[in-house]
Amino acid sequence: MRKKVAITSVIVFGVIAVIFIGLILSKNNGVAATDVLAPQDLSVPILAYDDNSITLAWHKPENYNNIKNYNIYMNGKLVGNSNDNKNSKAKPFIDNFYKDSSNKSAVNISMHNYVVSGLNPNTSYTFTVRAVDKNGKESQDSNQVIQTTTKTPEIFDVTKYGAVGDGKTLDTNAIQKAIDACTSDGKVLIPAGKVFKSGAIWLKGDIIFQVDGKLLGSENPEDYIKSGTGKSSALINAIGSNSSNLKIVGSGVIDGNGWKQGEPEKTTNFPNSLKSSIKTVEENGILAAKQYKAAKIKGLSDTEAYSRRSNLISISNINNVYYGDGLSFVNPSQHTIGSNSCSNVVLNGALIKTFDCNNSDGIDFDSKGLTVLNCVFDTGDDCVNFTAGKGADAEKNRKPVTDVWVFDNYFGRGHGAIVAGSNTAAWIENILAEDNVMNGTGSGLRCKSSPGTGGGAKDIIFRDSALKNITDGEGEPFIFTSNYSNSTATGAFKPAQDLPQFKNINIINCSVDGAKSNAIFVLGLKDMCHTDIHFENVSFNNTKEAKIDYLTNSSFKNVTFDSELKDPWNVTNSDKLNFEK
C-alpha cells in the first residue's frame, strides 16, 4: 500500500482557522458577488484510492453563495461534476430527501467531493476542480493534485485457507490464517455470495481487508476471549506498534450478530433491532445476551456485565485507517467502530446501519485527524462521536481530539449526528461539519459533559445543513449541556478540577423542520457558563422554544421560528446575548 503524507488534518485545521477569521472580520475582501471563486485545498483523503479509483475532496471558497456545482478535470479533460457523483453512497438518500416536496424550504447542501472510477492500476493522474455558478460560468482551476493508483494487490482469499462460508461452520482460524499470510499491500478477501461465521480476528497494518460477502459474528462468547486475558475482544481487532495503513472495505456486510432483528424500516429498508437495553438484553440479545450472562456467572454486577459486550470493530494505535467503499456495518453487541489512538482516519462510503442496537455509536474517535464523507448513518446511539477522556488524569495527560471534517453525508436515526462528549476532559476542538442531511436524528450537534469530567469542546463550525424530523433520543436539534448523565457508565475516576465548557461554536445557514423538544437547548453551570455560541441564518419550523440557561457572550442573528410560537426564547441566568434580525 503506497504511503501517503498525512496532510488532511493540517488542511482541515487551516480551513477552520480561515473561516473563524472571516466570521470575526465579517468582510468580503473586495470580491464581487458575480465572481466565481476557485475551490480550495483540493486533496485526496488518506488512503482514499486503490487500483481503479481515487476520491477527491476540496473545501469551498470563502464566498460560495453563487456556486451551484463543481467540474472535475483529469489530465486536463472534464470527467464529471460533483452533483453527479454516482459513486457516493450517501447521494441517493440525499437526492431522495430533496425530491420530497415537503423539503422544498430546506437548506440545499453542496457536494464537494468526487469519486473517480474506472482507472488503471499503478498509473498517475493529474486533477483540478472548477466551481460553476448557475449560469455555467466556471472559476479558475483549484490547486493541482497528482495521485497514483496502487498496483493490483495480491489476493489472499480466505476460502483458500480453509474457510467454508456456509454460515454455520466457525471460520475464525481459516480467516486468521489468511490475515497472517497476507503480505504488505496485499488484500485479504471475504468473497461474495457466502456467509463466514467468525469469532475475534486480528488485523495488521499495510493490508486491505475486503468483505464482499458477509462476515457474521459468532454467538458464542468464548470465541471472543483472547487467550490469557479473560476479556472479550471485538469481532475485528487490530493493535499496532508503529503501524499504519489499514483498509477495511468491500461491498458486503460485517454483522456482529448482537441482537435479534425486527422488520426493516419501510422507506429505507434499514435494519431495526428489537428493543435493546440492560433491561431487555436477556430476551432480545443474541451475542449480547450470552456475553451478559457469562459475565454475570463470574459475579459481575448487572452494569459491569452489560459493559462486557463486544464492539464490532476495535482498532488501536494504527495511523492511517480507512473504512468504507460501500461496506455495511450492522448489528453490533455494543459500539460499532472504536478508534483508539489512531490518527488520520477516513470513513468514505461506509453504511453504518445499527438502529436500535443499544450503545451502537457509529464511530468513537479520540485522536487527531478524522474525515467522514459519502457515508450513511442510522444508529442506535450517536453517529460520529468524539471522546476525550474524563477526570483529572485525562485532563492532564491526554491530547485533545482535533482536526475533524464531516461533510456530504446522510444521517438517519441516531441520538446525535455530530457529538462532542460526554467524555470531554482533554478538549474536543477544530471540527468542521458541513453540507450534511440529517433526517430522523435526535440532534444535529450534540455537546454533552458533566461536572467532574473537565475540558469541553471549542472551535466548532456547523453549517449549510438540512435537519428534519429531529425526533430520536432527546429530539433537540442543538444541545449544549453540562448536566449529562449515563446510567450504565462504569469505572471510577478522580474528578477534574475545572468545570466543562462549550465555547467558540458557530451554527450557520441551517434549516430545521420538526423536533419533539427544544429548538436549542443550552444548560451551563452557575460557575461555568457556556460562551461564544453563535447562530446565524437558522430557521426553525415545528419545534418548541429555545431554552437557554447559563450562557454568555453569544449571538442569534436571523434566527427564525414559526409565527405560531409567540415567545420562542426562554432565557435564564444568562447575559451579553445579542438577538438580531
**Model-level pTM?**
0.95
pLDDT above 60: residue 507 = yes
* Segment 473-490, tens digit of pLDDT: 999 999 999 999 865 565
The pLDDT tens digits of the residues spanning 535-555 come to 999 999 999 999 999 999 999
Reduced to 3 states, what is the DSSP secondary structure of residue 148? strand
- Residue 6's pLDDT is 44
Question: Catalytic residue at 59?
Answer: no
CB 250 within 8 A of CB 212: yes
Residue 14's pLDDT band, with cuts at 50, 70 and 90, is low
pLDDT digits (tens, 9 = 90+) for 232-286: 999 999 999 889 999 999 999 999 999 999 999 999 999 999 999 999 999 999 9
- Selected catalytic residue, list 366, 378, 381, 513: 381
pLDDT band of residue 562 (cuts 50, 70, 90) is very high
Q: Is 415 a catalytic residue?
A: yes
Q: Which of 83, 82, 52, 59 is nearest to 8 (CA)?
A: 59
Q: What is the 3-state secondary structure (H, E, C) of 31-73?
A: CCCCCCCCCEEEECCCCCECCCCEEEEEECCCCCCCEEEEEEE
Q: pLDDT value at position 1?
A: 45
Residues 311 and 306: their CA atoms lie apart, in Å, by 12
What is the pLDDT, as a whole number, of residue 491? Answer: 67
Question: Which residues in 358-500 belong to E strands, given as ranges?
Answer: 363-365, 368-373, 376-378, 382-386, 401-407, 410-411, 416-420, 428-434, 437-439, 445-448, 456-470, 478-481
pLDDT tens figures, 312-339: 999 999 999 999 999 999 999 999 999 9
Walk me through the domains of the chain, giving residue ranges and CATH numbers. 8-148 (2.60.40.10), 155-580 (2.160.20.10)
Q: Which pLDDT score, from 0 to 100, does residue 5 have?
A: 39
For the cut 60, the answer to whether the pLDDT of residue 3 exceeds it is no
Q: Which of 59, 112, 415, 530 is catalytic?
A: 415
382-399 tens-digit pLDDT: 999 999 999 999 999 999
The whole-number average pLDDT for the span 478-506 is: 87
Mean pLDDT computed over every residue of the chain: 94
Distance (Å) of CA 399 to CA 77, 388, 427: 44, 8, 8
Q: If pLDDT is split at 50, 70 and 90, which confidence band does 492 have?
A: confident
DSSP character string of 452-477: TT--EEEEEEEEEEEEEEE-STT--S
Residue 30's pLDDT is: 46
pLDDT digits (tens, 9 = 90+) for 80-111: 999 999 999 999 999 999 999 999 999 999 99
Share of the chain above pLDDT 70, in %: 92
Sorting pLDDT into bands at 50, 70 and 90, what band is 23? Answer: low
* Strand-pair partners of 557: 536, 580
For range 53-65, the mean pLDDT: 97
Give the pLDDT confidence score for residue 488 in this predicted structure: 57
Instruction: Examine the pLDDT at 412 and tell me if it is beyond 90.
Output: yes
**C-alpha to C-alpha distance for 338 and 385, rounded to whole angstroms:** 10
